[in-house]
Amino acid sequence: MAQTKAADPKAAEPKAAEPKAADGERTRLSRSAVVDRALRLADAEGIDALTIRRLAQELGVTPMALYWHFRNKDELITGLSDRIWSEIRSDIDPAAPWPDQLRYLLESLVGVLRIHSSASALLVGGDKLGQSHWEVTEVALEVLASAGFDPEHAAEIARSALWTALSLVMSEPGYEPSLNDEERAELQRRKHVELASLPPDRYPRLVEAAAPLTRCDKDAEFHYRFGVDLFIAGVRALAPGGS
């Protein structure tokens, strides 16, 4: 009689189900990685171009894989806003005078807004605020409290600081995130010609300032440095205890 081969006990066990594609994608995707790619896409093409489907294509996954992290675009936008706030440095020097501390915060905010072309729209349009926003705002309010401002005035100054930074970035001559360098230069040229061509007898100061009003490419830093100086000087002048 031929010897029968003993049955392999493992062969009788049912095979484990293969993980679904979305499960595998979810495993290799982190929330941070999703936000990183989403922010790069928003900076390159604008927030309107940012959709769950488009982002999934960029990441090489199915849309379902992203829904594990963000249920919809609104949640994704909130995540991007929180990332922007987290990039603002709030590690102020506790030994520095309060105007220098406030300047440090404002300059960091301006720097982040300049790096990310989508940041202005994200901070203006963000309805929900997260931990990163609270942390930066808490530091700003503490700096203003140390200068003698009560909560009401400190809150107004902190709010004005945000809008000052946004205004500086969005008012930079030639600011148009949707334009490339060549298109932006042409826009500046046309605006310069328009002002320079005004009747000098009626608009002498506008004609005189045609170049600085429409161009910022030679010394963009002056635009930001002066704007920050102006804001800090105003806060110092209003400080209850003086500067």
Q: Which residue has the tokens 């969005």?
A: 170
pLDDT value for 218: 57
pLDDT value for 27: 45
Residue environment code for 24-57, b if the CB has 16+ CB neighbours within 10 A, otherwise e: ebbeebeeeebbebbbebbbeeebeebebeebbe
149: burial class by Cβ within 10 Å (0-12, 13-18, 19+)?
buried
pLDDT values of the chain reduced to their tens digit, one per residue, 243 residues: 333 344 444 444 444 333 344 444 444 688 999 999 999 999 998 888 999 999 999 999 998 999 889 888 889 999 999 999 999 999 999 999 999 999 999 999 999 999 998 998 888 866 667 889 999 999 999 999 999 999 999 999 999 999 999 999 988 866 676 677 788 888 888 989 999 999 999 999 999 999 888 875 556 788 899 999 999 999 999 999 765
pLDDT value for 173: 67
DSSP three-state, residue 162: helix
pLDDT value for 222: 87
Give which of 76, 64, 94 is closest to 38, Cα–Cα: 76
pLDDT value for 67: 86
- Global pTM reads 0.79
The full set of domains in the chain, from first to last, is 20-71 (1.10.10.60), 86-238 (1.10.357.10)
Which run of H or E residues covers position 132?
Answer: helix 131-146
pLDDT value for 123: 87
